[in-house]
Structure 1
Amino acid sequence: MDIAEPLIDLGEYQTSALSEVILTLPAEAWGDPFRQQTYDVHHNTESVMMVFTDGSGWPDIEVRKEAGWDLLAATAVPLMHQIIADHYPVGGTIVRAVAAKLVAGGVIKSHRDTHPSFHFGHRIHVPISTNPRVRFNLDGRPYRFALGRAYEINNQLQHSVSNKGDCDRITFIFDYVPPAKLQEMAKLAQTPISSTRE
Structure 2
Amino acid sequence: MNDFFRLPFFFDEDKLVKDLEKCLSLNWTDHFNQRDYNGDWKSISLRSISGNITDANAHPGAEYKDTALLQQCSYFAEVIESINCEKEAIRLLSLTPGSIIKTHVDQELGYSDGYFRLHIPIQTNPDVDFIVNSNDLRMKPGECWYANFSLPHSVANRGTINRIHLVIDCKRNNWSDEVFAESGYCFDLEKQMQSKKQDPETMAKMITELERMDTDTARQLIDQLRSSAV
TM-score over 0.5 for the pair: yes
Matched residue type, 1:18:
L
- Check if 1:29 corresponds to 2:26: yes
Structure 1 stretches of 4+ moved >3 Å: 25-28, 53-56, 115-119
Please state how far the C-alpha of 1:30 moved relative to its aligned partner: 4.1
After superposition, the Cα gap between the structure-2 partners of 1:117 and 1:29, relative to the gap in structure 1 and judged at 3 Å, is farther
Q: Secondary structure, in 3 states, of the residue corresponding to 1:37?
A: coil
| 2:43 aligned partner | 47
Q: Deviations over 1:138-170 (max 9, x none)?
A: 001111101221111111111100001111101
TM-score, normalised by the number of residues in structure 2: 0.62
Maintained 8 Å contact 2:109/2:115? no
After superposition, the Cα gap between the structure-2 partners of 1:41 and 1:68, relative to the gap in structure 1 and judged at 3 Å, is farther
Unpaired segments of 5 or more residues in structure 1? 85-89, 181-198
Distance, in Å, in 1 between the alignment partners of 2:140 and 2:97 is: 18
Maintained 8 Å contact 2:118/2:146? yes
Percent of counterpart pairs with the same letter? 20
How many pairs align?
164
Higher relative contact order (CA 8 A, sep 6+): 1
| 1:100 aligned partner | 93
Matched residue type, 2:35:
D
Please state how far the C-alpha of 1:66 moved relative to its aligned partner: 3.0
Distance, in Å, in 2 between the alignment partners of 1:71 and 1:30 is: 15
Question: Which structure would you say has the larger Rg?
Answer: 2
Please state how far the C-alpha of 1:114 moved relative to its aligned partner: 1.4
Please state how far the C-alpha of 1:100 moved relative to its aligned partner: 0.6
Distance, in Å, in 2 between the alignment partners of 1:50 and 1:32 is: 13
Please state how far the C-alpha of 1:93 moved relative to its aligned partner: 1.2
More helix by share: 2
Please state how far the C-alpha of 1:105 moved relative to its aligned partner: 0.8
Coordinate RMSD, CA, aligned? 2.6
Q: Deviations over 1:91-135 (max 9, x none)?
A: x31001111100111111111111579833221110101111101
| 2:8 aligned partner | 11
After superposition, the Cα gap between the structure-2 partners of 1:79 and 1:55, relative to the gap in structure 1 and judged at 3 Å, is closer
Q: Secondary structure, in 3 states, of the residue corresponding to 1:175?
A: strand
Matched residue type, 1:129:
Q
Maintained 8 Å contact 1:48/1:68? no
Maintained 8 Å contact 1:30/1:46? no
